[in-house]
Amino acid sequence: MRFLRFILVAAPLLGSHLTFAQPTFGLQYATELQTDFKGGFNMPGLLRLEAEVPVGNSVSFQAASISIGKTRNERLINDFQVFSNIEEENLPFGLAVMNVVYRPGNRHEFYVGVRNINEDYFTSPITSLFTNSSCGVFPTISTNYDIANYPLASVGIHYAYCSDNLQILSSIYNGSGYSSPWGKEHVFQFNPARDGLFVMGQIGYESTQASFYMGGCLHTRTETLSRAETLSHAETLSRAETLWGYTECSLTQDLSLIAGCSHAFGSQVSCSDFLGIGFLYAIPKAGLGLYTDYARMDEGYECATELTCRIHVSEHLDLQPTIHWINQKEMKALVSLLRLSLVL
């Protein structure tokens, strides 16, 4: 998830080629008090621990764990897009990252091992400001595929190229995501015959005034269809594709715009279309954001609007009051949260 992404950069090599950079460690904790203004309250929390250990001049080992908890089992409201991007089912310990990264120079990065798409896609500072889940990975991706998306991860390969203006991302993951490092449903399994494959890529142009991104993903899975009349089985290859694009532009020195859209192809998808637009206004020691979106789900449509303000209390501590207005055909709801974020 983009809110949780914390890039660890190894220190420069010291002295001879036999001396490696020192290991680096990070901690992130976020908790929030939610209310529906009708007497309902919830307090989810998320703890992430991470480390990067250099094992060579260009090779490092990365690992990150997550722990999730909340004070009530049911959610405050049944919104389709989920207004809080940290709220999930209780998870005492999950593995988010465990991979080797190879950096041959300043422009190329190769990752092999356990990883998730929230580490690499939809991770800009503007998208990271908002608390609605759809402001990160679009629901045309997150709700349609049971993939390596927070809080799940899976075995995969990720490649990133970044020059002065050009960014290229490409990933191949196991077709289903998991969270536990042990048990039958462990995160280290790679079984395309059962889970299929998930392929994702994005190309972007970045400048000081504007950035533009276009991407797509493909999910394949072999499904077994039962034929009752012959008591036999037949296998068919299921495919699902999604395309997206979004842009971030600086309108003035303090005001920025973000806008995106996405479409999922096929008739058996949970979310077929998504449109979103938002603004970020930078003020001293704070960021004020307004974001509204439309998602067409198989249960119906949903329009969600978020007004948020992230206040930088100190170098490591942020306080973020937020209001969400959720509009569906059968439901209208106003919810609020007050988030506390700690980064060390």
Q: Give the Cα separation of 274 and 156 in Å (integer).
A: 27
Domains of the chain (ranges plus CATH)? 2-343 (2.40.160.10)
In this prediction, residue 6 carries a pLDDT of: 37
Joined together, the tokens standing for residue 287 give 């960021």
- The residue type of 310 is R
d(CA 260, CA 276): 5
Mean pLDDT of the chain: 90
Residue type, 5: R
pLDDT tens digits for range 179-205: 999 988 899 999 999 999 999 999 999
Q: Work out the end-to-end distance of the chain between its first and last CA atoms, rounded to an integer number of angstroms.
A: 18
What CA–CA distances, in Å, run from 212 to 62, 205, 245, 246, 279? 29, 5, 8, 6, 16
pLDDT of residue 14: 35
Please give the Cα distance from 249 to 262 (Å, whole number).
18
Neighbours of 16 (CB within 10 A): 6
Cis peptide before 44 (omega within 30 of 0): no
- The yes-or-no verdict on residue 4 having pLDDT over 80 is no
> What's the pLDDT tens digit per position in 151-175?
999 999 999 999 989 999 999 999 9
Residues 337 and 325 sit within 8 Å (Cβ to Cβ): no
3-state SS string for 45-86: EEEEEEEEEECCCCEEEEEEEEEEECCCCCCCCCCCCCCCCC
Question: How big is the chain, counted in residues?
Answer: 344
pLDDT at 248: 96
What are residue 275's phi and psi, to 5 degrees?
A: -135, 135
Of 21-30, 144-153, 218-227, 239-248, which gets the smallest average pLDDT? Answer: 218-227
Give the DSSP letter of residue 117: G
In this model, does residue 77 exceed pLDDT 90? yes
Whether the Cβ atoms of residue 21 and residue 29 lie closer than 8 Å to each other: no
- CA–CA dist 151, 88 (Å, integer): 7
Within 8 A by CB and 6+ apart from 15, the residues are: none
Residue 238: per-residue pLDDT: 66
Question: Per-residue pLDDT tens for 241-288?
Answer: 999 999 999 999 999 999 999 999 987 889 999 999 999 999 999 999
- CA–CA separation, 316 and 332 (whole Å): 36
Query: How many angstroms separate the CA atoms of 8 and 5, rounded?
Result: 10
Could you give the percent of the chain with pLDDT greater than 90? 81
Tell me what the mean pLDDT of segment 81-101 comes to: 96
Task: Give the mean pLDDT of 63-69.
Answer: 97
Token pair listed for 216: 């797509």
Give the whole-angstrom CA distance, residue 1 versus residue 121.
Answer: 9
Q: Give yes or no for residue 12 having a pLDDT over 60.
A: no
Rounded-to-integer distance, Cα 276 and Cα 248, Å: 12
